C-alpha cells in the first residue's frame, strides 16, 4: 500500500480534499458580519451615497465603486470549445500493476488510490446552451499523483475530426454559429458545417460517430470516452510501448433518441448536470473502468491503419483493451466558478512513465491547451488556482503575473546560481526527474502526411457502419436527415450524399431521397469487417439508477404499490412520484405516499420508464390526459412501462400494437421482478 492509500484509509479523505480545506470559507451564519474584501464592516449594502435625499450619487462612495467594479469583472472569457460543462471529484484505484510497461507511480501498486477531478462538457455550444445537443462530449480527468498532476483529456468518440492540429481552427469555425448571424447554437445543422464536412473528407469517420446514438448520451455516467491520441508508456528500463486509453462506464453505454434529446434540451437544458448531482447525492457514485490498448514499439507499422492517425480507432478485436483500474466520482465541487470554471487541463501535463508520440494532433494539442488558458484565465499562474494545484511540493523560478497568491521569499529566482547553491536543483531521471523518450528522428522538413493510410478516409467509417445493428443504422439515417434538412444549399447536400456513399451507398441513397438531391453515383469502399465492441447492444444493461416516473392519484392499492416501490428501490432504481399536486397521496387502504413532482413541471422524456398506477384526482379530466400523454410518449420511445392493477385502462392491446416491454401487475405474482427486468433492458425496439 502506498502513502496516499494509507492516508485515505486513516483519515477518510484524500490529499486533494485536505489541501482544498484551507481555501474553503463560509460567509453566512450566526455572528457573520458583512465586510468588504479588505475586512471593513459594511453599514449599508442597499443604497448608494448621494448628495441629498434625491441627489446624484457621489464618486466618493467607495463601497459602491468596489462592489460594482468587482461585479463588472466577475465573468472571464468562456472556453472557445467545451464551454458548457461541469466537474466533480473522485478517486482512481489501480487494479493491477503496469510496472512492466510504465514507471508512472500511480500505475505501480494494485490498490493505489489517486485523487481525481473530472470535467464533462459539450464541444460546440456556448455556456448557455443545452446538455443534450447532438455533439461530442469532453471527459477530462486530472490525476493528483505523487509525481505531480497528470491530465488525461478524453472525448466520447474513439476518433477525432482532423488528422493534423493545423486544421482544428477551421473545423471549429465551421461548426460554430454563422459569423454573420450568430445562429444556430450548439448544432451542426447548418450550411457552413456541412460544407466543411463535404470538402474535408478525413472527417467522415468522426461524423459517423456524431450521427450515431453516441452523439447524444443518456447520461455522463453512461458514456465511454477515449483520449484519441497515441501516447507512449516508458518503463524503468527505458523501453517504450505505444498506448491508447479508454474509460468504460460500469453502467454500460446508453443513449437518448434524437427526438428525446431535442425535447429535453428545451424542457431541461441542465439534464446531464442534474443527473450527475442526483446520482452522487443518492450514493450511486458514477464509476468508470480504465482500459489500455498496448502496441509494442516494434509493431508500429504492422496494422492496416496508422497508429498515429487520430481519425482511426484501434479496433478492440485487433488491439485488445486491458482493464487496469476503476475511477469513482463521489463529490461535487463546493463552488462552480472557483473549481469547475477555473479548472484547466493540458495534454502536455504528464508524469514520468508517460510521454508523447509524433501523433500530429497531439503535437498541436500539447501547445494549444495551455496557451488558450493563459488567455482565458488571464494569468501565467494557472496552477496556483486551488483546483489545479498538485498535491506535491513545488519549487520553481517563475514569478509574478496575475493571481499570484504565493509569497516567494527567496532573493534568488534563476537557475545556475551560487548564492543558493544552485537550488532548486534538477532531479536526474533515475531519481524521478522527467526525461523524454530518446526517439530517433531523421528526415527533411516536410508537410507530407506521415503515411499513405492517412489518405484512407472511409475504411473505418465503413467498419463503424458494419458494426451497427439495424435499429442504430436507422437512427444514423434519421440523424443525417435531421441535420441536412436545415442545409439551404442543394449543392452542399448533394456533396454530402456523394461523400457518404463511400461509407454505404444504400444509406446515402435513402438520405438523398429525404433531402431532395440525386442518388449517389459512386459506391461504398469494399470493407466487410465489423467490430462487435462498437455495437451498443453488447453493452451492459442494468436497472440500477434508471429513473422511473410513478403516475398516481388518490385511491391506489397501497399494499401492491408500496411493495413494487420497495422492490424498485431495493434494486437501486430512482423513483419520482408524480401527481396533480405536491404533497400527500392517500391509498384506498390508508397508505400514504409523497408526490415530489407534478405533471405541470415535468415531462415524460425525463424518465427511463413509467409505473402507471392511476387513481382519483380533483381535476379528473386533466389528470387522465396527463397520464395518457406520459404513456403515449414512453411507448413511442420504446421505454418499459409497468402497469398496476388500477392502471390497466391507460394501455390496452390492439391490432396496432404488440405491447412489447409493457408489464402488467394483474394476475402476476412476479410483477416486481418482471418490471425490474424490463427496466434493465431499457428499450424494446421490436415494439409496434
Q: Is 119 labelled as part of a ligand binding site?
A: yes
- Which position has the grid cell 512492466? 100
* Residue where one domain finishes, among candidates 487, 510, 537: 537
Annotated binding residue 365: yes
Q: How many helices (H) and strands (E) does the chain have?
A: 16, 17
Counting the structural domains of the chain, the total is 3
Q: 98 with 173, same domain? A: yes
Could you tell me if 293 and 246 are in contact, meaning their C-beta atoms sit under 8 angstroms apart? yes
Dihedral-angle region of residue 77 (phi above 0 means left; psi in -120 to 50 means alpha; beta otherwise): beta
CATH number at residue 674: 3.40.50.880
Whether 294 and 172 map to the same domain: the answer is yes
Question: 220 near 275, Cβ under 8 Å?
Answer: yes
Within a domain: residue 341? Answer: yes
Give the C-alpha separation, 21 to 88, whole Å.
Answer: 16
Residue 436 is assigned to a structural domain of this protein? no
Distance (Å, whole) CA 219 – CA 32: 40
Same domain, 503 and 585: no
Q: How many other C-beta atoms lie within 10 A of the C-beta of residue 130?
A: 23
The reported pLDDT for the residue numbered 3 is 58
Beta strands in 465-616 (DSSP E): 547-552, 574-579, 583-586, 592-595, 597-598, 609-614
pLDDT score at 240: 98
DSSP state of 219: -
C-alpha cell read off for 142: 486530472
Residue 542 labelled as part of a binding site: no
Closest CA to 309 of 206, 467, 451, 157: 451
The total of other beta-carbon atoms located within 10 Å of residue 368's CB is 16
One domain, residues 484 and 613: no
Is the residue at 359 inside a domain?
A: yes
Does some domain include residue 460? no
C-alpha 117/C-alpha 153 separation (Å) is 12
* Burial group, residue 290, by CB count within 10 angstroms (0-12, 13-18, 19+): buried
Q: Is 442 inside a domain boundary?
A: no
pLDDT at 6: 55
DSSP per residue, 243-310: EEEEEEETT---B--HHHHHHHHHH-TTHHHHHHHHHHHTT---EEEEEEEEEEGGGTT-SSS-TT-T
- Residue indicated by cell numbers 461541469: 86
Clarify whether residues 496 and 625 are in a common domain: no
Asked whether 449 and 163 are in contact (CB, 8 A), the reply is yes
State which residues form the domain around 374. Answer: 85-388
The DSSP bridge partners found for residue 593 are: 585
Q: Helix crossing, 204-211 with 459-466: angle to 10°? A: 20
Domain stops at, among 372, 388, 404: 388
Nearest C-alpha neighbor of 136 from the set 238, 257, 223, 73: 223
Domain annotation covers residue 426: no
Instruction: Give the full edge-to-edge strand order of the sheet including 85-94.
Output: 148-155, 137-145, 113-122, 85-94, 322-332, 287-296, 240-249, 231-234, 354-356
Q: pTM, whole model, 2 decimals?
A: 0.94
**Residue-wise over 447-465: b if at least 16 C-beta within 10 A, else e?**
eeebeebbebbbbbbbbbb
369 annotated as ligand-binding: yes
Is residue 630 included in any domain, yes or no?
yes
Average pLDDT per 10 consecutive residues for the chain, totaling 688 residues: 54 85 91 89 91 89 87 90 97 98 98 98 97 98 96 98 95 96 97 98 98 98 98 97 98 98 98 98 98 98 97 98 98 96 96 96 93 93 94 91 89 92 92 93 91 97 98 98 98 98 98 98 96 97 98 97 98 98 97 97 98 94 96 98 97 93 97 98 96
Q: What's the residue count for the chain? A: 688
Q: Which phi and psi (to 5°) does residue 618 adopt?
A: -65, -45
**Domain boundary residue, one of 358, 388, 418:** 388
**Same domain assignment for residues 165 and 301:** yes
Residues 160 and 110 in one domain: yes
Same domain, yes or no: 97 and 226: yes
What sign does the dihedral 587-593-594-600 (CA atoms) show? negative
Collapsing DSSP states into helix, strand and coil, what is residue 213? Answer: helix
Q: Is the peptide bond before 424 cis (omega within 30 degrees of 0)?
A: yes
311 and 263 within one domain: yes
CATH of the domain at 526: 1.20.1370.20
Q: Verify that 533 and 571 share a domain, yes or no.
A: no
- Within a domain: 70: no
Give the CATH number for residue 98: 2.40.180.10
- Confirm whether residue 462 is marked as ligand binding: no
Bridge-based pairing of strands 113-122 and 85-94 is: antiparallel
Instruction: Give the C-alpha separation, 434 to 354, whole Å.
Output: 9
Evaluate whether 68 touches 48 at the Cβ level (below 8 Å): no
Distance CA 325, CA 222 (A): 17
Q: What are phi and psi of 186, to 5 degrees?
A: 60, 40
Same domain, 260 and 307: yes
Q: What whole-number distance in Å separates Cα of residue 265 and Cα of residue 134?
A: 10
Shared-domain flag, residues 372 and 346:
yes
Amino acid at each position: 500500500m502506498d502513502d496516499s492509500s494509507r492516508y485515505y484509509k486513516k483519515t477518510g479523505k484524500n490529499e486533494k480534499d485536505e489541501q482544498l480545506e484551507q481555501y474553503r470559507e463560509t460567509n453566512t451564519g450566526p455572528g457573520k458580519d458583512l465586510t468588504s474584501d479588505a475586512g471593513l464592516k459594511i453599514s449599508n449594502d442597499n443604497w448608494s451615497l448621494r448628495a441629498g435625499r434625491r441627489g446624484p450619487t457621489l464618486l466618493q462612495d467607495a463601497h459602491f465603486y468596489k462592489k460594482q467594479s468587482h461585479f463588472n469583472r466577475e465573468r472571464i472569457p468562456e472556453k472557445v470549445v467545451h464551454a458548457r460543462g461541469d466537474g466533480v471529484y473522485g478517486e482512481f484505484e489501480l487494479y493491477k500493476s503496469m510496472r512492466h510497461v510504465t514507471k508512472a507511480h500511480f500505475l505501480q501498486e494494485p490498490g493505489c488510490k489517486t485523487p481525481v477531478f473530472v470535467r464533462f462538457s459539450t464541444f460546440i455550444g456556448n455556456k448557455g446552451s443545452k446538455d443534450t445537443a447532438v455533439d461530442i462530449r469532453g471527459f477530462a480527468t486530472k490525476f493528483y499523483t505523487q509525481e505531480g498532476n497528470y491530465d488525461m483529456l478524453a472525448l466520447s468518440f474513439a476518433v477525432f475530426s482532423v488528422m493534423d492540429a493545423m486544421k482544428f481552427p477551421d473545423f471549429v469555425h465551421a461548426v460554430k454559429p454563422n459569423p454573420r448571424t450568430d445562429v444556430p447554437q450548439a448544432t451542426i445543422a447548418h450550411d457552413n458545417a456541412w460544407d466543411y464536412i463535404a470538402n474535408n473528407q478525413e472527417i467522415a469517420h468522426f461524423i459517423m460517430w456524431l450521427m450515431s446514438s453516441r452523439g447524444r448520451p443518456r447520461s455522463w455516467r453512461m458514456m465511454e470516452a477515449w483520449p484519441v491520441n497515441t501516447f507512449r508508456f516508458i518503463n524503468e528500463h527505458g523501453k517504450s510501448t505505444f498506448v491508447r486509453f479508454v474509460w468504460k462506464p460500469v453502467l454500460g453505454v446508453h443513449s437518448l433518441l434524437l427526438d428525446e434529446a431535442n425535447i429535453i434540451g428545451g424542457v431541461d437544458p441542465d439534464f446531464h448536470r442534474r443527473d450527475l448531482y442526483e446520482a452522487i447525492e443518492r450514493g450511486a457514485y458514477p464509476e468508470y473502468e480504465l482500459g489500455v490498448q498496448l502496441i509494442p514499439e516494434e509493431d508500429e507499422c504492422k496494422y492496416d491503419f496508422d497508429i498515429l492517425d487520430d481519425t482511426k480507432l484501434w479496433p478492440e478485436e485487433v488491439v485488445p483493451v486491458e482493464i487496469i483500474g476503476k475511477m469513482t466520482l463521489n463529490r461535487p465541487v463546493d463552488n462552480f466558478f472557483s473549481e469547475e470554471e477555473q479548472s484547466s487541463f493540458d495534454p502536455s501535463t504528464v508524469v514520468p512513465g508517460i510521454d508523447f508520440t509524433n501523433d500530429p494532433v497531439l503535437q498541436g494539442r500539447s501547445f494549444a491547451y495551455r496557451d488558450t488558458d493563459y488567455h482565458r484565465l488571464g494569468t501565467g499562474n494557472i496552477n496556483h488556482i486551488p483546483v489545479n494545484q498538485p498535491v506535491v511540493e513545488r519549487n520553481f523560478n517563475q514569478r509574478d503575473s496575475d493571481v499570484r497568491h504565493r509569497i516567494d521569499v527567496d532573493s534568488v529566482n534563476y537557475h545556475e546560481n551560487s548564492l543558493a547553491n544552485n537550488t532548486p536543483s534538477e532531479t536526474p531521471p533515475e531519481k524521478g526527474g522527467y526525461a523524454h523518450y530518446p526517439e530517433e528522428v531523421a528526415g527533411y522538413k516536410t508537410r507530407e502526411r506521415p503515411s499513405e493510410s492517412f489518405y484512407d478516409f472511409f475504411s473505418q467509417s465503413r467498419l463503424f457502419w458494419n458494426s451497427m445493428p439495424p435499429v442504430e443504422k436507422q437512427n444514423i439515417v434519421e440523424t443525417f436527415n435531421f441535420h441536412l434538412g436545415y442545409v439551404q444549399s442543394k449543392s452542399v447536400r448533394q456533396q454530402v450524399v456523394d461523400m457518404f456513399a463511400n461509407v454505404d451507398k444504400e444509406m446515402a441513397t435513402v438520405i438523398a431521397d429525404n433531402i431532395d438531391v440525386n442518388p449517389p453515383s459512386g459506391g461504398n469502399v469494399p470493407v466487410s469487417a465489423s467490430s462487435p465492441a462498437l455495437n451498443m447492444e453488447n453493452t451492459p444493461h442494468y436497472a440500477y439508477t434508471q429513473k422511473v416516473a410513478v403516475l398516481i392519484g388518490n385511491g391506489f392499492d397501497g399494499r401492491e404499490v408500496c411493495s413494487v416501490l420497495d422492490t424498485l428501490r431495493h434494486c437501486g432504481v430512482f423513483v419520482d412520484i408524480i401527481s396533480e399536486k405536491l404533497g400527500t397521496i392517500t391509498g384506498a387502504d390508508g397508505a400514504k405516499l409523497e408526490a415530489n413532482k407534478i405533471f405541470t413541471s415535468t415531462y415524460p422524456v425525463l424518465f427511463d420508464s413509467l409505473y402507471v398506477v392511476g387513481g382519483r384526482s380533483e381535476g379528473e379530466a386533466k389528470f387522465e390526459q396527463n397520464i395518457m400523454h406520459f404513456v403515449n410518449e414512453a411507448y413511442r420511445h420504446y421505454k418499459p412501462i409497468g402497469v398496476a392493477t388500477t392502471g390497466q385502462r391507460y394501455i390496452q392491446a390492439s391490432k396496432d400494437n404488440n405491447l412489447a416491454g409493457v408489464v402488467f401487475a394483474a394476475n402476476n405474482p412476479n410483477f416486481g421482478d418482471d418490471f425490474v427486468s424490463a427496466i434493465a433492458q431499457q428499450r424494446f425496439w421490436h415494439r409496434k
